Amino acid sequence: MNKPAQSSLRRQLLVHLAVPLLAVLGLGAAGGVLIARYVGYQVHDQWLLDSAMTLAAQIKANDRQVQLVLPPTAIQMFEWDRVDRIYWQASSERQGHLLSNAFLPAPPLPMRPSRPQFYDAVIDSQPVRVVAIDRPAPAGINDTVRILVAETMHKRESVATKIFSQWAPLQIAVLVLAAAFIWLAVTRNLRKVDSVAARLGAYETDNLTPVADTESMPAEIAPLISAINRLITKLSEEQDSQKRFISNAAHQLRTPLATLQVQTQRVLRERDPLKHDQALGDVHRAVTRLHHVTQQLLTLMRSEQQTEKHLKLAPVDLAGIAREEVERWADAALEKEIDLGYEGPEDGVMITGESNLLRELIGNLIDNAIRYQSSGGTVTLILNASPVTLVVEDDGPGIPEQERGLVLERFYRGSTSELAGGCGLGLPIAYEIAARHGAQLSIASGPENRGTRVQVTFQQT
């Protein structure tokens, strides 16, 4: 199937500007023709009227009758014209025809006193322009004289043609200049769009920067540039997140994988049943640690991808989530003979948040407390409704005060991390998830300055 032809913005702009321009110039040309004809007609209509008035001045009274007295030489001079032919006729109401060189068509409209009437007619198959005037007879005669003078239209058309021929080149020049200015204006203003397209085409995956400053762009395309910039920023953030994940995964998985490789080789070599079982136990612990590190890395990546702007926030019951997480970690606590408990409401502690991330937050705090707690210790999750605070405290070895800020940094491992199998991600993950929800995470000593107390304070909704 053939692809539909792509439309050109430049072509559309030029067409949408050129068509109205041509229409305006076409109307101007038509108007020019009408004006030229009007000017030509006005000049020659005045000459016709003057000729008719000249004939009317020759009306005389003779024995109570009107006469048009014109010597032959005067008639020759009156009728002489190098271009057009002149027709004339004089008549009166009472006497009828007085004198003429042709019979002219009567006026199409009733005559008005002292008002000439101009009209078009045809004489001998030629179009003519006619003027008619009525004049009262000389004193003492009750009569009205009508003078008709007609002229063929060659001079009129010639004048109109000359006027239009002088005016048309100016119109053409205006058209050419306007078209050139439109082309230059469209091309110049589309250069910014072309520059954005060129920059997008030259993008490298390792250098995702905004394509342009919206302040330098026309207001009509600034929203498009802003949307592209937001998309590029999001892609850049996703790319940075992936790079960090790959770097973190490589850093964190290298040692567990190497350890697992050594221990599996030991299992394969060991022939003593007791030592073989011990080696299998070491492999199991290595796999468990590798699983823990992998889960922490995946949780960290999910936390990074779900920024505060893109969180799917909804009303959630924090009490329900807290109780479920305590139940989920109960078996892990029993394995270490740790007393894991919950203090707080059964339900009804509502906040706005992302339920899966909140589970990760609480789960990491409980896991961290169990992991660093010694056998026979206590871990308690405390939830307060007003203000909404979530506390996980234990009576274990605790975190030295000078390290409480450091343990919130990724991959920082305190003095007990190696023994506990930690990877330095539990508290940083909890801290980042809390920050995504606008909450504050703080670390202090537990009851009676023993153990650790991690508190997350949520904003009031």
The CATH number of whichever domain residue 400 belongs to comes to: 3.30.565.10
Can you give the pLDDT at residue 170?
79
Q: What is the 3-state secondary structure (H, E, C) of the chain?
A: CCCCCCCCHHHHHHHHHHHHHHHHHHHHHHHHHHHHHHHHHHHHHHHHHHHHHHHHCCEEEECCEEEECCCHHHHHHHHCCCCCCEEEEEEECCCEEEEECCCCCCCCCCCECCECEEEEEEECCEEEEEEEEEEECCCCCCCEEEEEEEEECHHHHHHHHHHHHHHHHHHHHHHHHHHHHHHHHHHHHHHHHHHHHHHHHCCCCCCCCCCCCHHHCCCCCHHHHHHHHHHHHHHHHHHHHHHHHHHHHHHHHHHHHHHHHHHHHHHHHCCCHHHHHHHHHHHHHHHHHHHHHHHHHHHHHHHHHCCHHHCCCEEEEHHHHHHHHHHHCHHHHHHCCCEEEEECCCCCCEEEECHHHHHHHHHHHHHHHHHHCCCCCEEEEEEEECCEEEEEEECCCCCCHHHCCHHHCCCCCCCCHHHHCCCCCHHHHHHHHHHHCCCEEEEEECHHHCCEEEEEECCCC
| 74 & 122 share domain | yes
| 148 & 249 share domain | no
Does 176 reside within a domain?
no
Does 172 reside within a domain?
no
Q: Which domain CATH number covers 134? A: 3.30.450
Does 169 reside within a domain?
no
Does 15 reside within a domain?
yes
Can you give the pLDDT at residue 419?
47
| CA-to-CA separations, 54 to 44, 50, 59, in angstroms, rounded | 15, 6, 10
Does 189 reside within a domain?
no
| 278 & 404 share domain | no
Can you give the pLDDT at residue 454?
92
| 377 & 289 share domain | no
| 361 & 334 share domain | yes
Does 175 reside within a domain?
no
| 23 & 92 share domain | yes
The residue out of 305, 332, 353 marking a domain boundary is: 305
Length of the chain measured in residues: 461
- Number of neighbours of residue 238 by Cβ within 10 angstroms: 13
The residue out of 108, 133, 161 marking a domain boundary is: 161
Structural domain containing residue 111: 10-161
Can you give the pLDDT at residue 93?
86
Note the pLDDT tens digit of each residue in 137-173. 887 788 888 999 999 988 877 877 777 777 778 778 8
Q: Which domain CATH number covers 245? A: 1.10.287
Does 174 reside within a domain?
no
Does 181 reside within a domain?
no
| 97 & 139 share domain | yes
| 286 & 322 share domain | no
Is it true that the peptide bond before 116 is cis, omega within 30 degrees of 0? no
| 215 & 127 share domain | no
| 373 & 297 share domain | no
Can you give the pLDDT at residue 167?
72
Can you give the pLDDT at residue 203?
65
| 290 & 384 share domain | no
Residues 393, 382: contact at Cβ < 8 Å? yes
| 285 & 324 share domain | no
- Number of neighbours of residue 113 by Cβ within 10 angstroms: 8
The residue out of 305, 337, 354 marking a domain boundary is: 305
Can you give the pLDDT at residue 116?
93
Can you give the pLDDT at residue 311?
66
Per-residue pLDDT of the chain (461 residues; tens, 9 = 90+): 455 555 666 777 777 777 887 787 778 777 767 776 777 678 788 888 888 888 888 888 877 788 887 778 877 777 788 888 889 899 888 888 888 888 899 999 998 878 999 999 999 889 999 999 998 888 778 888 899 999 998 887 787 777 777 777 877 887 788 888 888 877 777 777 777 777 766 666 666 676 666 666 666 677 777 777 777 777 777 777 677 666 666 655 665 676 677 778 877 777 777 777 777 777 777 677 666 667 666 666 666 555 545 567 889 999 999 999 999 989 889 988 999 999 999 888 899 988 888 988 898 899 888 888 888 899 999 999 889 999 999 988 888 888 887 877 776 666 555 544 555 677 888 888 888 888 999 999 888 888 899 999 998 76
Counted domains in the chain: 3
